[in-house]
Amino acid sequence: MVIDVSQALLGGEMTITGRLVDASNATLLARVDDGGDGIACIYKPIAGERPLWDFPHGTLAYREYAAYLVSSVGNFNVVPFTILRDGPYGEGAVQQWIEIDKEIDLIEFFQGNEPGLRTMALFDAVINNTDRKIGHLLPTVAGEVLGCDHGVTFHVDDKLRTVLWQWAGEKLSEPERDLLERLLELLDGSLAMQLTKLLESEEISALKIRTSELCKTGVFPHPNPDWPSVPWPPF
């Protein structure tokens, strides 16, 4: 029987199986009933979010889902399937667990020139990711490069903070510019309607401006001199 992962994660009964103790916010390992062995996932309840000085409290789960929507609808395809739903501790973000390729050394990997990493760097520039750490990169056995932990994104100020700066100042390829131009069209249509339920109007406007500026300049951004360019700790 073929299991529809999205439908199972949306409606299956969730059981907590563990906790990621190094996470700054409540990040719980869980399994969702799919009629078989269950689907592993990460559950981040809003009730477990710690207040941040620069992001409104109780919004990180919505930003996680907004990042997934931009990735999926915008055809970046760098974020695992993510939803908002109720769980044992209330509403939160639920993301499919991704098994990474254990043969890959992440310290070497993140410094490379993989096309998937480049797409991730462009995606982070679009969503204004302020926390792209090495450990948030998920290279799979199938050759995909996915990423997790997108709660501190979409700020109106330039807060891009990432370990992926190897393309700073490089020209965007034609497919990359096409990707951004299509995203701009979506941000004037269906995607914007979805994001209005998750982000403030000013944040959606800033998202459009960032995407438009990337199209106009045609290059990957440089670090903001007034803001730390790499998250700490970087892993």
Within a domain: 173: yes
Q: What is the pLDDT of residues 5-35, one digit of tens each?
A: 888 899 999 999 999 988 889 999 999 998 8
Mean pLDDT, rounded, for 127-139: 98
Within a domain: 40: yes
Q: What is the pLDDT of residues 175-233, one digit of tens each?
A: 999 999 999 999 999 999 999 999 999 999 999 999 999 999 999 999 999 999 999 99
Q: What is the pLDDT of residues 61-115, one digit of tens each?
A: 999 999 999 999 999 999 999 999 999 999 999 999 999 999 999 999 999 999 9
Within a domain: 64: yes
Of 72, 70, 97, 68, the closest CA to residue 82 belongs to 68
Domain CATH number, residue 39: 1.10.510
First to last CA, the chain: 39
Within a domain: 55: yes
* The residue type at 170: E
Instruction: Give the predicted TM-score (pTM) of the model.
Output: 0.96
Of 78, 114, 119, the closest CA to residue 98 belongs to 78
Within a domain: 224: no
Helix/strand/coil for 170: coil
Which residues form the domain of 107?
Answer: 5-217
CA 49 to chain centre: 17
Within a domain: 233: no
Confidence of residue 3 (pLDDT cuts 50, 70, 90): low
Within a domain: 230: no
Largest Cα span, the chain: 54
Helix/strand/coil for 230: coil
Count the domains in the chain.
1
d(CA 25, CA 21): 9
* DSSP per-residue letters across 122-159: HHHHHHT-S-B-GGGEEE-TTS-EEE---SS---SS--
Asked if residues 32 and 9 have their Cβ atoms less than 8 Å apart, the reply is yes
Within a domain: 226: no
Is a pLDDT exceeding 90 seen at residue 127? yes
